[in-house]
Amino acid sequence: MAEIRFYDTIDLKEEVIPDVKLTRSRSGGGGKAVFYFESPKALSGDIREQISGMYMIDEEGEIYTREVKCKFINGIPEELQAIYLMRTESEWERFMRFMNRYAEENGLGFEKSKKS
């Protein structure tokens, strides 16, 4: 089990699979993951709770970020962006274990960027 949620008080798995951009620090100790969700279930309007963060949950527990932004088009919420910062090697490794599980369950692949 590996899932993403946007509410800490509601047991609601996000069904939209995000586009994830991942960068590693030059020192190799940490990194940054930026998640883009287009028209996520969390913005459907059926839920009256306020988004409290992005929670990544698997059998090891929960990791989360409070840095979640909403993009509006013509006054309608269309996209969520979440940023998860990893400051240490252990945070990086924990995140990668979650992402491997999440990718396996959702049929995601990994593509390295091409250096010019």
Q: Which pLDDT does position 113 carry in this prediction?
A: 60
Is position 116 within any domain? no
In order along its 116 residues, the chain shows pLDDT tens digits of 899 999 988 888 999 999 999 999 888 788 999 999 999 988 887 777 889 899 999 999 999 999 999 998 888 888 999 999 999 999 999 999 999 999 999 887 766 666 54
Tell me how long the chain is.
Answer: 116
Total of domains in the chain: 1
Q: Which residues contact 47 (CB under 8 A, 6 or more apart)?
A: 7, 10, 12
Which CA distances in Å does 23 have to 27, 38, 63, 68, 94? 12, 21, 18, 18, 15
Is position 62 within any domain? yes
Q: Which pLDDT does position 77 carry in this prediction?
A: 85
Q: Are 70 and 80 in contact (CB under 8 A)?
A: yes
The number of C-alpha atoms within 13 Å of 7 and in the hemisphere containing its C-beta is 14
Q: Which pLDDT does position 101 carry in this prediction?
A: 95
Is position 114 within any domain? no
Is position 115 within any domain? no
Is position 86 within any domain? yes
Is position 17 within any domain? yes
CATH of the domain at 18: 2.40.30.220
Q: Which pLDDT does position 34 carry in this prediction?
A: 97
Q: Which pLDDT does position 114 carry in this prediction?
A: 61
Q: Which residues contact 76 (CB under 8 A, 6 or more apart)?
A: none
